[in-house]
């Protein structure tokens, strides 16, 4: 299997490293002007992995797309639509696309697989690869479980069976809507967790319970299986997102509560905006999401925004635990 990984940042470089170790013929692509590409080109490594000598590194998008049977995309989720306009210039009718990224388009509420279909890709040739795990742990040989989902039963089974190893155990996803929404939404909960680490750590337990319940309501309203919120893509990813020191989203929430600046990508920021939009569209109450959105986009200092968000949540009317 010839695989091209488009995007050579944190996850992209790891995926290329992992798939090369699995014995696949791998090409790693990044924009020539991008720092992540330049550091790999100049040093053969980054802060996460050493580039396998069998991986072909290139900044030629046409070469990367044309040479692959399977194209893995690992870029910022908000840039996917624009990026696919470039990719679709090449003949991709027979290509399989695997999205190894988590997010929802902020101004449309579209899932990433929906953006791919709107870009002209056959839905039967699209899969998503999500779930718990941190590169820093994987490269130390610490295993974890992940999930591959697709509208195509045969595609998700072929990919999961081919990509699995003693480092990553894959499961077959059963609900593409729930898998994608759950994977994106856990980053929103990660931001909340970071703020609570600073201001009120005991509330992280209720956050896990109420967060998963909130996401299950949204998934159901969108036509997915609400139980998906309790699977690997969402609740199963809480440890690596709500507790791990490697979590960018948790660190982002912590930085806001401390009044500090966080410079790395935290996908949960724009996802909170997208989920707020979806909640309004489908008539679903998402109080934690709304609170995180107010923290990310509100005015005033970060600690005050966080404390106000907690106060707003605590002032909500009392209801049955399973009512909302």
The beta strand positions in the chain, using DSSP E, are 2-6, 25-29, 56-58, 70-73, 96-99, 126-130, 144-150, 168-172
Given a contact cutoff of 8 angstroms between Cβ atoms, the answer to whether 286 and 228 are in contact is no
Nearest to 40 by CA among 70, 66, 7: 7
Hey, is 250 helix, strand or coil? helix
Distance from C-alpha of 130 to C-alpha of 112, rounded to nearest angstrom = 12
Q: Extract the tokens encoding 40.
A: 């790999």
Hey, is 147 helix, strand or coil? strand
Which residues are within 8 A (CB) of 249 and not within 5 positions of it... i.e. 6 or more apart? Answer: 187, 188, 190, 191, 193, 194, 241, 266, 267, 268
Q: Please name every residue paired with 145 in a beta bridge, in sequence order, or none if there are none.
A: 169
Distance from C-alpha of 49 to C-alpha of 161, rounded to nearest angstrom = 24
Active site residue 186: yes
Of these residues, 102, 125, 186, 204, which one is catalytic? 186
**Residues with catalytic function:** 186
């Amino acid at each position: 299997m010839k695989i091209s990984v488009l995007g050579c940042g944190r996850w992209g470089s790891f995926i290329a490293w992992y798939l090369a170790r699995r014995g696949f013929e791998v090409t790693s692509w990044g924009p020539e002007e991008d720092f992540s590409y330049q550091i790999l080109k100049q040093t053969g490594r980054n802060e996460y992995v050493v580039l396998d000598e069998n991986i072909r590194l290139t900044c030629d998008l046409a070469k990367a797309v044309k040479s692959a049977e399977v194209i893995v995309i690992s870029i910022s989720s908000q840039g996917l639509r624009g990026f696919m306009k470039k990719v679709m210039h090449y003949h991709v009718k027979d290509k399989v696309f695997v999205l190894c990224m988590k997010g929802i388009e902020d101004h449309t509420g579209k899932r990433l697989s929906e953006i791919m279909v709107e870009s002209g890709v056959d839905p039967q040739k699209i899969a998503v690869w999500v779930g718990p795990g941190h590169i820093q742990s994987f490269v130390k040989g610490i295993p974890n479980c992940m999930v591959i989902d697709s509208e195509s039963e045969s595609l998700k089974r072929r990919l999961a069976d081919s990509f699995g190893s003693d480092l990553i155990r894959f499961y077959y996803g059963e609900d593409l809507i729930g898998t994608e929404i759950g994977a994106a939404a856990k980053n929103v909960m990660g931001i909340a967790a970071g703020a609570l680490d600073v201001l009120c750590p005991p509330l992280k337990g209720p956050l896990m319970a109420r967060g998963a319940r909130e996401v299950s309501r949204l998934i159901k309203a969108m036509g997915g299986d609400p139980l998906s919120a309790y699977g690997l893509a969402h609740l199963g990813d809480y440890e690596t997102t709500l507790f791990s020191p490697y979590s960018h989203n948790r660190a982002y929430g912590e930085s806001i509560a401390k009044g500090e600046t966080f410079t790395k990508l935290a996908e949960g920021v724009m996802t909170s905006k997208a989920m707020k939009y979806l909640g309004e569209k489908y008539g679903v109450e998402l109080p934690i999401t709304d609170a995180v959105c107010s923290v990310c986009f509100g005015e005033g200092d970060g600690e005050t925004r966080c404390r106000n968000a907690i106060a707003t949540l605590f002032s909500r009317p009392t209801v049955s635990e399973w009512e909302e």
